[in-house]
């Protein structure tokens, strides 16, 4: 065991391009066909929305690759920290004068150019890009670039990851810019944004963000058990080994899982079995699934749980106890003891976060994003803390004192957020 780690093809991490992109064929084709239509297609500007680890970045990168191979010009940045317009400006500088900026590695690619590094890449076309007149702002530079692309029968793709973390002002300006270029001027500037469901409470909750409201939306979700098994199998195969469907069957027991979870399982399986030299067995798969549970708990579920306001946690706990599927909202209101307004806030919060589905207005179902076993365990931890009165300011007889409060733990100071549940913007005390 262990000797084969260096050859492990799995990527149990964030933002890493997977060896095999599982279960996203339909989504890719859908977006590609929107892109092929041009600025008039609603999907020419698309938002990819999904919980952590569902593979938004992986999907974004796959689309960048596919557009690049079509000869599109790519401007790819992330909104994780303020300064997105400067970053877009840097990519534009580089596209216009690749030799002057000294950014990353520049390779000649036909007559085009390729840059990789500094957390973004701008990839270019098979024609010479003309620099915009000096002192133009990004909007006009992007428009100028898009009109050149149009003349060469191609398009520009503006790709923005982590849009949920974007600065509101900057995002508003970005939205206005794209609206102007793509919608009003009908220039071939396609937009792809990716972010967490938090954007329903941020970017998509304001009345001013009209551009983002009008973007085509695609939910990036969990893989079905069959897609997860196939994903592991294809990854193993791409690395020159094999794993049979029967040997991988224990993965099916976990139901729908995130691609990240699939990578964690696959990675353990590779190491435990001694792939690629020895085959993967059913026992190794079962053991890997088990090891992955513990890892998911520590790396994902616990943090996610404590990021949820207390009423959301109660709702998840009661929902699980009631069987988790098609549970009536009325029963839940009773068992959680939450007021109607709090209940509806909590429900929306969990829905945006990808934890629950509402098959009908009066029913709630768990998605599996937070597995039953994790909910059970974390709810028990909550009960213990409340029973011990450790969070005394938070509780009255084990119940949250004020369920209307957000209750999210503060990141820099001790204590919890005292704002109203479902508040806009950052937490405060
Ligand atoms: N469709 C997929 N098939 C196989 N592996 C995938 C797939 N999508 C993502 N992955 C893998 O799962 C991990 C998480 O994916 P990724 O970073 O794209 O998620 P994300 O949704 O962008 O997460 P975050 O919300 O944290 O940004 C990555 O290491 C990636 O290699
Ligand atoms: Mg990501």
**For ligand 1, what atom is nearest to the CA of residue 58?**
18
**Model confidence pTM above 0.85:** yes
Residues whose CB falls within 8 Å of the CB of residue 74, separated by 6 or more in sequence, listed in order: 64, 67, 68, 121, 122, 123, 124, 156, 157, 159
Instruction: Calculate helix-pair angle for 259-273, 282-296, nearest 10 degrees.
Output: 130
- Residue 400: per-residue pLDDT: 46
Neighbouring CB atoms inside 10 A of 198's CB total: 18
- Residue 334: per-residue pLDDT: 94
Which of 8, 25, 53, 296 gets mutated to test ligand 1 (max ligand atoms within 8 A of its CB)?
Answer: 53
23 lines ligand 1 (CB under 6 A): yes
80 lines ligand 1 (CB under 6 A): no
13 lines ligand 1 (CB under 6 A): yes
- Can you say whether the dihedral through the CA atoms of 221, 225, 228, 230 is positive or negative? negative
197 lines ligand 1 (CB under 6 A): no
**For ligand 1, what atom is nearest to the CA of residue 23?**
1
- Can you say whether the dihedral through the CA atoms of 24, 27, 30, 33 is positive or negative? negative
Q: Give φ, ψ of 170 to 5 degrees.
A: -65, -40
266 lines ligand 1 (CB under 6 A): no
Ligand nearest the Cα atom of residue 16: 1
**From ligand 2's centre to the CA of 30, what distance in Å?**
20
344 lines ligand 1 (CB under 6 A): no
Over its length of 429 residues, how does the chain's per-residue pLDDT go in tens digits? Answer: 445 778 999 999 998 999 999 999 999 999 999 999 999 999 999 999 999 999 999 999 999 989 988 888 899 999 999 999 999 998 898 888 766 655 544 444 433 444 443 333 444 456 778 889 888 999 999 999 999 999 989 999 999 999 999 998 999 999 999 999 999 999 999 999 999 998 888 888 877 768 999 999 999 999 999 999 999 999 999 999 999 999 999 999 999 999 999 999 999 999 999 999 999 999 999 999 999 999 999 999 999 999 999 999 999 999 999 999 999 999 999 999 999 999 999 999 999 999 999 989 899 999 999 999 999 999 999 999 888 875 544 444 444 445 667 777 777 777 777 777 777 777 887
Which of 80, 260, 267, 303 gets mutated to test ligand 1 (max ligand atoms within 8 A of its CB)?
Answer: 260
Nearest-CA neighbor of 188 among 73, 298, 107, 92?
Answer: 73
- For residue 257, the 8-state DSSP code is B
**From ligand 1's centre to the CA of 309, what distance in Å?**
26
Q: Which CATH superfamily is domain 25-219 in?
A: P-loop containing nucleotide triphosphate hydrolases (3.40.50.300)
**From ligand 2's centre to the CA of 55, what distance in Å?**
7
324 lines ligand 1 (CB under 6 A): no
172 lines ligand 1 (CB under 6 A): no
272 lines ligand 1 (CB under 6 A): no
Second-level CATH architecture of 308-400: Orthogonal Bundle (1.10)
**From ligand 1's centre to the CA of 197, what distance in Å?**
15
**From ligand 2's centre to the CA of 221, what distance in Å?**
13
21 lines ligand 1 (CB under 6 A): yes
Q: Which residues pair with 77 in a beta bridge?
A: 160
Which of 259, 265, 292, 304 gets mutated to test ligand 1 (max ligand atoms within 8 A of its CB)?
Answer: 259
53 lines ligand 1 (CB under 6 A): yes
């Amino acid at each position: 065991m262990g000797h084969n780690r260096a050859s492990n093809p799995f990527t149990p991490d964030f933002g890493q391009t997977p060896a095999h992109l599982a279960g996203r064929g339909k989504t890719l084709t859908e977006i590609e066909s929107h892109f092929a239509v041009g600025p008039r297609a609603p999907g020419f500007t698309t938002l990819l929305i999904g919980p952590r680890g569902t593979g938004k970045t992986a999907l974004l990168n796959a689309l960048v690759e596919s557009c690049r191979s079509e000869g599109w010009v790519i401007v790819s940045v992330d909104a994780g920290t303020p300064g997105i317009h400067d970053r877009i400006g840097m990519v534009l500088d580089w596209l216009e004068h690749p030799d002057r900026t000294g950014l990353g590695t520049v390779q000649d690619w036909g007559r085009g150019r390729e840059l990789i590094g500094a957390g973004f890449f701008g990839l270019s076309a098979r024609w010479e890009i003309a620099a915009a007149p000096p002192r133009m702002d990004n909007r006009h530079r992007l428009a100028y670039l898009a009109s050149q692309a149009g003349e060469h029968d191609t398009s520009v793709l503006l790709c923005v990851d982590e849009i949920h973390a974007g600065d509101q002002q900057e995002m508003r300006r970005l939205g206005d810019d794209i609206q102007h270029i793509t919608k009003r001027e009908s220039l071939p500037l396609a937009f792809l944004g990716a972010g967490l469901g938090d954007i329903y409470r941020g970017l998509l909750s304001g009345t001013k963000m009209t551009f983002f409201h009008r973007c085509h939306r695609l939910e990036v979700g969990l893989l079905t058990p069959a897609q997860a098994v196939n994903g592991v199998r294809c990854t193993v195969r791409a690395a020159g080994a094999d794993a049979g469907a029967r040997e991988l069957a224990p993965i099916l027991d976990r139901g729908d899982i995130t691609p990240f979870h699939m990578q964690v399982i696959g990675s353990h399986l590779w190491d435990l079995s001694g792939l690629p030299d020895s085959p993967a067995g059913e026992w190794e798969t079962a053991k890997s699934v088990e090891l992955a549970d513990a890892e998911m708990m520590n790396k994902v579920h616990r943090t996610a749980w404590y990021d949820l306001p207390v009423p959301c946690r109660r709702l998840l706990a009661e929902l699980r106890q009631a069987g988790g599927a098609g549970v009536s909202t009325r029963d839940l209101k009773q068992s959680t003891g939450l007021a109607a307004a709090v209940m509806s806030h909590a429900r929306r919060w969990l829905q945006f976060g990808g934890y629950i589905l509402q098959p009908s207005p009066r029913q709630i179902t768990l998605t599996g994003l937070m597995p039953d076993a994790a909910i059970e365990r974390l709810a028990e931890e909550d009960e213990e803390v409340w029973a011990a009165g450790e969070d005394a300011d938070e509780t009255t007889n084990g119940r949250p004192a004020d369920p209307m409060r957000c209750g999210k733990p503060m990141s820099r100071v001790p204590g919890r957020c005292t704002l109203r549940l479902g508040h806009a913007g950052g937490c405060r005390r």
